[in-house]
Amino acid sequence: MYDRFNRKIDYLRISVTDRCNMRCKYCMPDNNNIQWLKHKDILSYEEIRDITKYLVSKGIKKVRLTGGEPLVRKDIEVLVHMLAQINGLEDLSMTTNGILLASFAKKLKSAGLDRVNVSLDTLDADTFRKISSLGELNDVLEGISIAQKTGLNPVKINCVNSKYNTDQDIANVKAFGEKNGLQVRVIHQMDLAGGIFTTVEGGQGGNCTSCNRLRLSSDGRIFPCLFNNQSYDIRKTGVEKALALALNNKPKKGYNNQNQSFNQLGG
């Protein structure tokens, strides 16, 4: 399928929850004022499967599960299994903060997950804790190692270049990646409301000219663009109409998003 600027749209990022077991300063800065989505508004696994099946029948080939933190959603491997059965879906991946990955890797692989991206901004335990407020660096490193051994390959690293880490931190993560056969992508800190974003170093994100993605939020809205306020509520219009509206209103390039936070759209 194509949008109005003739960009081929074949990639769907699904935020399965806005919840997370970390509080990264550049994602959830204000720990006390987080407006969580109500559980009753969250899509069931069956709803996510049916929406994805329809979107795959229209041209989506790649699906990435995001959050918040996808591994905090109960029985996430059940959803992975459901999606892995969809004919025409060529690539099923997940972005995780890695805290729970060590205990989930095997289940995810056998459920049908192809690969994972793991967030890692530093190899210094104190800096890690300063950025994330919760969680242990060693759990993430163990998760990465077990994911590789389990075959969730290629394991890629998402390293956010923010005011909370240094060039040396990023250089260390890159060296760690080289040494362990991990592709490291550097994501420069983004600001949704301020409309600040750049292309991802070592990845495809942030390149509006060839943007191929749509986002599905955990409460059932299709977002044509991360840096735009528009979204189309599937529960109100039905998936067919929501998709058509998203393709016809996808902006040429991102601007800003005043209504959402990263934990609601999964970056």
CB closer to ligand SF4, 37 vs 208: 208
CB closer to ligand SF4, 60 vs 137: 60
How many Å apart are CA 148 and CA 151, to the nearest integer? 5
At CA 76, angle to CA 106 and CA 49, rounded to 5?
120
How many Å apart are CA 100 and CA 54, to the nearest integer? 31
By the rule CB under 6 A, 225 interacts with ligand SF4: yes
Q: Give residue 9's identity as a one-letter amino acid code.
A: I
As measured in angstroms, the least distance from the Cβ of 149 to ligand SF4 is: 33
CB closer to ligand SF4, 57 vs 229: 229
Q: 231 to 260, contacts with ligand SF4 by CB under 6 A?
A: 253-254
At CA 20, angle to CA 130 and CA 107, rounded to 5?
115
3-state secondary structure of 52: helix
Tell which residue, 111, 116, 139, 114, has the closest CA to residue 67: 116
- Cβ-contact 156, 184 below 8 angstroms: yes
By the rule CB under 6 A, 14 interacts with ligand SF4: no
By the rule CB under 6 A, 195 interacts with ligand SF4: no
By the rule CB under 6 A, 226 interacts with ligand SF4: yes
Point out which span in 73-81, 150-158, 205-213, 239-247 binds ligand SF4 (CB under 6 A).
205-213
Token representation of residue 224: 């044509």
CB closer to ligand SF4, 76 vs 246: 246
Among 12, 99, 118, 211, binds ligand SF4 (CB under 6 A): 211
CB closer to ligand SF4, 150 vs 260: 260
| Burial of 185: CB neighbours in 10 Å, binned 0-12, 13-18, 19+ | middle
Pairing mode of beta strands 62-66, 221-223: unpaired
As measured in angstroms, the least distance from the Cβ of 251 to ligand SF4 is: 6
Among 45, 227, 232, 262, binds ligand SF4 (CB under 6 A): 227
Q: How many residues bind ligand SF4 (CB under 6 A)?
A: 10
By the rule CB under 6 A, 222 interacts with ligand SF4: no
DSSP letter at 191 equals B
Token representation of residue 72: 């905090």
- Cβ-contact 238, 50 below 8 angstroms: no
Token representation of residue 170: 């990023």
What phi, psi does 259 have (nearest 5°)? -105, -20
Residue whose Cβ sits closest to ligand SF4: 254
As measured in angstroms, the least distance from the Cβ of 260 to ligand SF4 is: 12
3-state secondary structure of 133: coil
CB closer to ligand SF4, 73 vs 221: 221
As measured in angstroms, the least distance from the Cβ of 7 to ligand SF4 is: 8
CB closer to ligand SF4, 84 vs 208: 208
Round the CA-based radius of gyration of the chain to a whole number and report it: 17
CB closer to ligand SF4, 9 vs 120: 9
Chain residues binding ligand SF4 by CB under 6 A are 206-208, 211, 213, 225-227, 253-254
